[in-house]
């Protein structure tokens, strides 16, 4: 019973999940990917990103989001068609 279920899950995931490397058709390391994201955000938003430290408000917001969202399995794994605010 479980063997059949596992195979179905593997088949489903194989059809529905991809990776950056699969989509690019080549291996992309984390530094190259970082540059791609930076360029994309700058061009897409018409802004210039600068390296720097978080200010106090940004640090507090980061901690809040970590606690309420990104480290929270309920938030990460909820299945919703709506926006995750």
Average of pLDDT values for 37-56? 96
Domain ranges of the chain: 1-51, 52-85
Determine the distance from the C-alpha atom of residue 8 to the mean position of all C-alpha atoms in its chain, rounded to a whole number. Answer: 25
**pLDDT (tens digit per residue) in 68-79:** 999 999 988 887
pLDDT over 70, % of the chain: 87
pLDDT at 80 over 70: no
Query: Hunting for tokens 């600068």 — which residue is that?
Result: 50
pLDDT at 60 over 80: yes
């Amino acid at each position: 019973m479980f063997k059949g279920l596992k195979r179905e899950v593997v088949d489903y995931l194989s059809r529905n999940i991809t990776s950056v490397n699969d989509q690019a058709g080549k291996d992309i390391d984390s530094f190259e990917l970082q540059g791609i994201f930076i360029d994309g955000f700058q061009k897409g938003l018409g802004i210039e990103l600068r390296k720097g430290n978080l200010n106090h408000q940004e640090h507090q917001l980061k901690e809040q989001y970590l606690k309420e969202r990104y480290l929270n399995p309920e938030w990460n794994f909820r299945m919703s068609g709506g926006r995750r605010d």
